[in-house]
Amino acid sequence: MVRRKAIATGIIMDNRALFNLMSWMSPSYPIGSYTYSHGIEFAVEEGLVTSLNNLVPWITDILEYGSGKSDCVLLAAAYWATIDQDMEALKEVAEIGNAFAPTKEIALETTQQGRAFVGVIGNVSTEAKTLAVLAEYWQGQLIHPIAVGIVAADHGVPLSETLTAYLHGFVSNLVSAAVRLVPLGQTDGQRAIAAMADKVERITAIAIKTPLGELGSATLMVDWCSASHETQYTRLFRS
């Protein structure tokens, strides 16, 4: 129990764990995250996101009330189930994660990134043993945050740092999409990412303590943009 708490709070963190985490969250990690906009492409088309001033609150709402927070709750639940080697609990987390996506395109976004992440991990790491054990209990697809939670636990990466890195990658990808779509300058893109630092810290702390029974979201405009993106006439992104 002491070690489990130490891992979660980041007391135990070596350079190898840091190196692995940076690799998984790097834009160069081949999971195709750059091809998704999480509905921002339609939001730009409709004039809902037009500048730094309305991009920041748009992404902030996703973090606090949408996929940002719910992904972290699912990641944390998968992490603890992996630490405990509780395959039934992990199967339940995986099933809930698959059912929780509010639109077809967000489901595509998270399942395809999850599949790619699992595939790459299988080719470059010998430590992600829980993935193989889980496959004996459940043959469905793992969404991206759950796959990250499992692999982080297997590699001894602290939960708090994993959540922070995951959200940084999530935010950075949304900002990158907006930089290309609005368009915004690169400096404004970095201003947007910097503006999320306090929110990321807060959501990380909340997600560690939030049980699956309290999972929920309230981002109706984001969901509407995601659903409407399916029939957008011209598209650069897959979601």
Beta-carbon contacts of residue 136 (< 8 Å; ≥ 6 apart): 87
* pLDDT > 70: percent of the chain: 95
Q: Is the pLDDT of residue 3 over 70?
A: no
**What is the overall mean pLDDT for the chain?**
93
**Nearest residue to 195 via CA among 67, 92, 60, 75:** 60
Q: What is the pLDDT of residues 131-170, one digit of tens each?
A: 999 988 888 899 999 999 999 999 999 999 999 999 999 9
DSSP code at position 213: G
Q: What is the pLDDT of residues 5-53, one digit of tens each?
A: 455 555 567 899 999 999 999 989 999 999 999 999 999 999 999 999 9
Q: Decide: residue 123, CB within 10 A, 0-12 exposed, 13-18 middle, 19+ buried.
A: exposed
| CA dist., res. 236 & res. 196, Å (int) | 25
Query: Across residues 187-212, what is the average pLDDT?
Result: 96
Q: What is the pLDDT of residue 2?
A: 42
Q: What is the pLDDT of residue 12?
A: 66
DSSP code at position 1: -
Q: What is the pLDDT of residue 137?
A: 84
Q: What is the pLDDT of residue 1?
A: 43
Cβ atoms within 10 A of the Cβ of 221, count? 14
DSSP code at position 142: P
Would you call the peptide bond into 27 cis, given omega within 30 degrees of 0 as the criterion? no
Q: Decide: residue 28, CB within 10 A, 0-12 exposed, 13-18 middle, 19+ buried.
A: exposed
Superfamily the domain 49-224 falls into:
Urease accessory protein UreF (1.10.4190.10)
Q: What is the pLDDT of residue 211?
A: 94
Q: What is the pLDDT of residue 7?
A: 53
| CA dist., res. 118 & res. 216, Å (int) | 26
| CA dist., res. 203 & res. 164, Å (int) | 9
Is 37 in contact with 174 (CB distance < 8 Å)? yes
Q: How far is CA 44 from CA 40, 155, 180, 181, 185, in A?
A: 6, 39, 11, 7, 15
